[in-house]
């Protein structure tokens, strides 16, 4: 088995390069897996990205992957290896992985081992990926920060006193810090794009129905979809090729086409948000600087950029909140364990249980009308561009109002649920409406603050434009100085 690659060189490889090395045999899955497990061992205590590390199972899976490649090599049909052959990844701890506890980030649940893989894990394992463990999430994936009562908070690799975002915060931190080459996330209100923005990654939320394994049965509003968190657009494209059924993917796949430059597009810049009426928010200068930088790059690439003024229905916040929190109201939690929920979850669970079915149906109906009206306004442009986040990555504990730095864990949860929720909506005011509309959107890093924190822009595309968004991300990534 020829390698010639040092551990440092393995860390520097993109996911696409690493996949090529595994396919060719230049690297074995065992040495790659051992490298990433060693990196997790060295860094995770500070970072808090992983809740559970499944090192023994990962090495067993890597051994099986290497045996499979040897068998294919003997038969001279190496090209028939699965597309993610031997690639280490991790799943956020809302996704079932066979034999591993699923905590859902909640101390109120019994953490039983999952009897089988969930749809997302099964799909990626079928393509040859192997799991290194489960990553940190907020309780039930409800928040834009990944802090809970189960394990230490997930921290931002660029500044350990700050959050990596949520709800795919642990996965984003792990990718950004080099603990895994890339990762699947899930996004129901910004949960891929928010941590991608905070951690300087490319994070793609595909459109509704594009990734069959990404949805959940308790999602009446059809908000949640799975998508990639990656360091480059090309890496994100590779993961999309595994997530999207071949007959529904672009001709040749995402990776084969991601380097092509999309023709001149009409791009509308917008700072309007459906949350502004109930939570007027300030936009930090670094967020505006990111949008300015993104605008310059898009214009230089030949796209026509103009201002887009969007009018949103002011009934949106209540309707979205009702739909977003309906699932936690029906979660099976033993009465004696309710006190172990975080204040935000407990408050929104109680409100969801008090809300009548007719009120929920009314909210869902309003969201469908919101989707229709908003897409009609967006249709004047090919792409809508916003900052990904209105503020720089927030300090650990900032949302909960506890004032703790996260240096000690567990900590006391302070503040109230409504202030917590308000802060999240002010931090990420351009995320959730994209889920309601079922449109694809990507966060792309384009700017670095004076303190070294990454900032990104969000590009919202038309239905079916996932490849186009990745092509734009690839173009920004090659021309930017972030």
Backbone angles phi, psi at 461, to 5 degrees: -105, 175
Beginning with the edge strand found earlier in the chain, give each strand of the sheet holding 454-461 in spatial order.
183-187, 225-230, 202-205, 441-448, 454-461, 383-387, 266-269, 304-307
What are the distances in angstroms from CA 283 to CA 15, 389, 426? 34, 9, 9
Per the structure block, which two tokens stand in for 251? 């001709």
Note if 171 is an active site residue.
no
pLDDT, tens digit (0-9, with 9 covering 90-100), for 170-217: 999 999 999 999 999 999 999 999 999 999 999 999 999 999 987 666
Q: How many other C-beta atoms are found inside a 10 Å radius of the C-beta of residue 98?
A: 15
* Chain segment 55-107, per-residue pLDDT in tens: 999 999 999 999 999 998 888 787 799 999 999 999 999 999 999 999 999 99
How far is it, in rounded angstroms, from Cα 234 to Cα 252? 14
Catalytic-residue membership of 217: no
Cis before 410 (ω within 30) = yes
Flag whether the pTM goes above 0.85.
yes
Cα angle 111, 117, 118 (rounded to 5 degrees) comes to: 85
191 is catalytic: yes
Q: What is the mean pLDDT of the chain?
A: 94
Cβ 15 vs Cβ 233: under 8 Å: no
Catalytic residue among 92, 134, 205, 222: 92
Question: Distance between CA atoms of 26 and 8, rounded to whole angstroms?
Answer: 15
From CA 289, how far away is CA 296, in angstroms rounded?
A: 11
Do 361 and 326 contact (CB within 8 A), yes or no?
no
Calpha distance 178→200 (Å, rounded): 12
Under 8 Å between Cβ of 159 and 130: no
Q: Is the CA virtual torsion 37, 94, 151, 181 positive or negative? A: positive
Q: For the chain, which domains are there?
A: 10-479 (3.90.1300.10)
Catalytic residue among 29, 159, 163, 167: 167
Q: How far is CA 461 from CA 272, 359, 470, in A?
A: 16, 31, 10
Catalytic residue among 19, 171, 191, 270: 191
Closest CA to 215 of 233, 204, 227, 203: 227
In this prediction, residues 269-284 reach a mean pLDDT of 98
How much is the pLDDT for 220?
87
Out of 5-14, 240-249, 293-302, 364-373, least confident range? 5-14
- Specify the residue for token string 């499944």: 54
Q: Coil, strand or helix: which one is 226?
A: strand
| Mean pLDDT value of segment 144-169 | 98
Tokens standing for residue 341:
């929920």
Q: Of all residues in the chain, what percent are helix, strand and coil, respectively (each to 5)? A: 45, 15, 45
Rounded CA-CA distance 162/421 in Å is 18
Taking CA atoms, 323 is separated from 209, 287, 355, 437, in Å, by: 18, 29, 11, 14
Look at phi and psi of residue 208 and say left if phi exceeds 0, alpha if psi is from -120 to 50, else beta.
beta
CA distance 103 to 445: 31
Average pLDDT over residues 411-428: 89
Report yes or no: 327 and 383 within 8 Å, Cβ to Cβ: no
């Amino acid at each position: 088995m020829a390698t010639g690659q040092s551990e440092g060189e393995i860390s520097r490889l993109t996911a696409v390069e690493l996949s090529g090395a595994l396919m060719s045999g230049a690297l074995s899955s065992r040495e790659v897996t051992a490298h990433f497990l060693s990196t997790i061992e060295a860094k995770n205590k500070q970072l808090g990205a992983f809740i559970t590390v499944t090192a023994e199972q990962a090495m067993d899976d890597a051994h099986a992957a290497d045996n499979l490649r040897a068998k294919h090599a003997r038969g001279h049909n190496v090209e028939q290896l699965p597309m993610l052959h031997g690639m280490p990844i991790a799943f956020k701890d809302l996704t079932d992985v066979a034999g591993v506890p699923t905590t859902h980030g909640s101390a109120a649940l019994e953490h039983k081992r999952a009897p089988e893989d969930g749809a997302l894990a099964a799909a990626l394992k079928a393509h040859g990926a192997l799991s290194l463990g489960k990553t940190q999430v907020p309780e039930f994936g409800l928040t834009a920060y990944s802090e809970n009562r189960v394990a230490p908070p997930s921290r931002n690799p660029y500044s350990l006193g700050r959050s990596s975002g949520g709800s795919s915060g642990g996965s984003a931190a792990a990718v950004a810090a080099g603990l895994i080459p890339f990762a699947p996330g899930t996004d129901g209100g910004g949960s891929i794009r928010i941590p991608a923005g905070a951690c300087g990654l490319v994070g793609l939320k595909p459109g509704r129905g594009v990734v069959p394994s990404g949805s959940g049965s308790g999602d009446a509003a059809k908000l949640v979809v799975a998508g990639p968190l990656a360091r480059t657009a090309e890496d994100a494209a590779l993961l999309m090729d595994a997530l999207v059924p071949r007959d529904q993917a672009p001709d040749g796949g995402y990776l084969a086409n991601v380097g092509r430059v999309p023709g001149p597009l009409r791009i509308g810049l917008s700072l309007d948000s459906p949350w502004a009426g109930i939570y007027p928010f300030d936009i930090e200068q670094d967020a505006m600087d990111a949008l300015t930088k993104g605008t310059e790059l898009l214009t230089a690439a030949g796209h026509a950029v103009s201002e887009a003024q969007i009018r949103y229905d002011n009934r949106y916040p209540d309707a979205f909140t009702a739909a977003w929190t309906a699932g936690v109201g029906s979660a099976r939690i033993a009465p004696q364990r309710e006190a172990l929920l975080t204040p935000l979850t407990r408050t929104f669970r109680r409100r969801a249980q008090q809300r009548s079915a007719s009120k929920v149906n009314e909210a869902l109906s309003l969201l469908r009308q919101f989707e229709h009206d908003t897409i009609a306004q967006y249709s004047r442009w090919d792409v809508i561009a916003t900052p990904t986040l209105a503020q720089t990555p927030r300090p650990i504990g900032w949302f909960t109002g506890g004032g703790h730095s996260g240096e000690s864990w567990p900590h006391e949860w302070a503040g109230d649920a409504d202030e917590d929720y308000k802060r999240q909506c002010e931090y990420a005011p351009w995320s959730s409406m994209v889920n309601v509309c079922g449109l694809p959107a990507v966060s792309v890093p384009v700017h670095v603050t004076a303190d070294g924190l990454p900032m990104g822009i969000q590009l919202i595309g038309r239905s079916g434009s996932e490849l186009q968004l990745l092509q734009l991300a690839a173009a920004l990534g090659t021309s930017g100085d972030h």
